[in-house]
Structure 1
Amino acid sequence: MKRIVNGVTYNTETSTALAESRWEGDDDERFGTLYQTRGGAYFVDVEVTAQVWNQRAAAMEQKVTHVFEPLSPEQAHQWMLEGEVEVFHNPFEDPPEASAEAEPAATIYIRVPASLKQRVDEAARGAKLSGNAWAMRCIERCLEAQS
């Protein structure tokens, strides 16, 4: 799909799709795809699906429109970082990683029966966590429940 916005051509066929996102508008659903043109410009193709009244048919019908929104590099980078966005290709630097906590980590050693350790390991695998991370979350929940 090709659109001319402010005298500049934006073409989804010749541009690289970078990311996608879906969100709700006031009275519609929106699906946006962030693109980068061959010349390096950024734009979002926002597909808007809305229910509109068709007077001739005397019924509601679904209408789909596309709006192309040119973005600066900073706006495009911000668009990728906000909301639930599926990123295919990131031409920007990744955001900085979280810094270390103010206090260093401490160690707690707990002796448990082998059968209990097996159950912990199974639960951790099911949660796709390490046994240590799973146990730490359990301890945090117990402490929150006491508060």
Structure 2
Amino acid sequence: MKRIIDGRAYNTATAIEVFSEEECYGSGAWWGLYQTRFGEFFKVKFDHGGEEVLEFGPIADTEAQELLEEHANHLVEQYFGEMPEGGMAERRLTIRLPGNLVERMEVSATCLGLSLNSYAMRCFEQCVSKDGFPPMRA
């Protein structure tokens, strides 16, 4: 199923199905969380007959993460990176990077057996150290 929303295509045939769930056993109602080839999440929801689309559209990363935390907790870190352990003094940081840099970082992280988050933290730490700033204490 494909829909154009705000000039962008969302296609279940070309997207990754992240997770789907039947709402009531045998009723035909279901919903699915998908991710486009470029990383945007979208949600699809069908009625009990499985024929009428009740919801189809992009959702924010935070909503996608909340859905996975509730319905498919084992997938959260696969899509959102390593989560800080409870009680750790960490903050979430959103940065914008050119696609080609992200691809190079992903390849490097994979080659080193690291998550992208761990690899990025390593890069940030090296850069700050190179600039001569002392490490922060927890």
Name which one, 1 or 2, has greater alpha-carbon Rg.
1
Q: Under a length normalisation based on structure 2, what TM-score does the superposition of the two structures give?
A: 0.48
Higher relative contact order, structure no. (Cα contacts within 8 Å, ≥ 6 residues apart): 1
Larger % of helix: which? 2
